[in-house]
């Protein structure tokens, strides 16, 4: 009964239950520290960036070739030219696919090397911390940092960073291509974009504290579950199962509430971005058709190219919404990891401490 009561009290005394949340959350600082870990793999990262740029450039050439095919070969009824440009278009998309697969695989390998080092540093540092630290930390909470928080960072490094790079390069490249082709249609396509930045700025202020709360409550839930199950025989012996269940339900309810708040805040981002992207497509189609009908120097192929580019702009913008949500969650986990790594032992060896030689452990009775 004592063990069970101790587990419940520890979990219930966490940040969600009676203690104030820390206000010094700094996702940018956590991101900077993760980037320093990645910086040890500079050559691989440079190759990843080269492959990302190659994949992005090839994805931009495709719609332009489609527009050329419409204006130069379909409108002029040139079957031979159409076959030639179709082959070029197919090779372009094959190259884009290979580049995409290459940088995704390489980034995953780099991410796993970083995660290996981060897990090892975290575990070894826990072994060096003093008894005072471990006495005040539920085991399940520490396990949550080694598993849930580390897994969130793993997803950020292995998937979200490559997605973020590709989407950013795509947006920059698309805008550049469109400006070269026709600045008027470019303005039409980009007109709704400021709305996206307003939405992202608002969510960027509100979401990080919510995800921090969620990650900490998950840690409290794991702590209670671990310590409750470890003392389950004692709880059964003293008929304390009902109290165990009540404590778990209370913390589980807090996790549900925190998760709902965090993900409800960010879940609107992707549909908003998708809707704004489609608004850009409609604007391009309308203005492009008006310019074509009024002799504005816009061809059918150019309109088709811009509609395709507008769809490509909408896609990375929508994906940025998902990436942004996952990144906020991962940075909340990274912050909890670095809180442990920054913790110093309360008891350290003296500078002139004498190391005890290895003891054989041989006992002899005369």
Q: Are 288 and 302 in contact (CB under 8 A)?
A: yes
Structure tokens at 290: 């008006």
Which of 166, 170, 199, 167 minimizes the C-alpha distance to 276?
Answer: 199
CA dihedral sign of residues 268, 270, 276, 281 = negative
Give the whole-angstrom CA distance, residue 84 versus residue 177.
23
CA dihedral sign of residues 323, 326, 327, 328 = positive
Residues contacting 343, CB < 8 A, separation 6+: 125, 129, 133
Q: Are 89 and 69 in contact (CB under 8 A)?
A: yes
pLDDT on residue 98? 93
DSSP-derived 3-state class of residue 310: helix
pLDDT on residue 318? 67
Per-residue confidence in pLDDT tens, the chain, 366 aa: 444 444 444 444 443 333 334 445 677 888 888 888 888 888 888 998 899 889 888 888 888 888 888 878 887 787 888 888 889 889 998 998 999 888 888 888 888 898 889 888 888 888 888 888 777 777 777 877 888 888 888 888 887 888 888 888 888 888 888 888 888 888 888 887 788 778 777 877 777 788 888 878 888 888 888 777 777 777 778 777 788 788 888 889 988 888 888 888 777 777 777 787 778 888 888 888 888 888 778 888 888 888 888 877 767 776 776 677 778 778 888 888 888 888 887 777 777 777 777 777 677 776
Residues contacting 140, CB < 8 A, separation 6+: 219, 221, 222, 223, 224, 225, 226, 227
pLDDT on residue 321? 67
pLDDT on residue 94? 93
Structure tokens at 222: 């794991």
Which residue is listed with tokens 């909408």? 314
Domains annotated for the chain, with CATH where assigned, are 2-341 (1.20.1560.10)
Give the whole-angstrom CA distance, residue 30 versus residue 117.
16
pTM over 0.95: no
pLDDT on residue 25? 61
pLDDT on residue 32? 85
pLDDT on residue 247? 84
Dihedral angle computed from the Cα positions of residues 345, 348, 351 and 352, in that order, rounded to the nearest 10 degrees? -160
Give the whole-angstrom CA distance, residue 225 versus residue 313.
45
């Amino acid at each position: 009964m004592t063990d069970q009561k101790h587990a419940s009290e520890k979990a219930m005394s966490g940040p969600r239950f009676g203690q104030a949340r820390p206000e010094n959350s700094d996702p940018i600082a956590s991101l900077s520290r993760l980037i320093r870990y990645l910086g040890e793999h500079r050559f691989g990262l440079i190759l990843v960036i080269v492959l990302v740029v190659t994949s992005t450039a090839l994805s931009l050439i495709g719609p332009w070739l489609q527009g050329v095919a419409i204006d130069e070969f379909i409108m002029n009824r040139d079957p031979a030219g159409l076959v030639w440009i179709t082959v070029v278009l197919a090779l372009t998309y094959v190259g884009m696919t290979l580049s995409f697969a290459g940088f995704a695989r390489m980034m995953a390998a780099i991410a796993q090397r970083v995660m290996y080092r981060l897990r090892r540093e975290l575990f070894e540092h826990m072994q060096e911390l003093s008894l005072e630290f471990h006495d005040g930390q539920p085991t399940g909470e520490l396990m949550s940092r080694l598993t849930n928080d580390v897994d969130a960072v793993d997803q950020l490094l292995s998937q979200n960073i490559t997605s973020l790079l590709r989407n950013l390069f795509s947006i920059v490249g698309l805008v550049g291509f469109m400006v070269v082709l026709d600045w008027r249609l470019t303005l039409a396509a980009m007109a709704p974009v400021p709305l996206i930045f307003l939405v992202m700025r608002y969510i960027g202020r509100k979401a990080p504290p919510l995800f921090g709360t969620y990650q900490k409550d998950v840690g409290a839930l794991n702590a209670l579950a671990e310590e409750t199950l470890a003392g389950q025989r004692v709880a059964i012996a003293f008929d304390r199962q009902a109290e165990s269940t009540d404590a778990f339900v209370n913390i589980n309810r807090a996790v549900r509430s925190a998760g709902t708040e965090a993900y409800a805040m960010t879940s609107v981002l992707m549909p908003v971005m998708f809707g704004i992207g489609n608004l850009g497509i409609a604007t391009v189609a309308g203005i492009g058709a008006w310019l074509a009908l009024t002799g504005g120097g816009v061809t059918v192929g150019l309109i088709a190219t811009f509609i395709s580019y507008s769809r490509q702009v909408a896609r990375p913008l929508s994906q940025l919404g998902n990436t942004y949500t996952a990144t906020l969650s991962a940075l909340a986990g990274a912050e909890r990891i670095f809180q442990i790594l920054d913790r110093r032992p309360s008891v350290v060896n003296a500078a002139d401490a004498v190391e005890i030689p290895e003891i054989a452990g041989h006992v002899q009775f005369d």
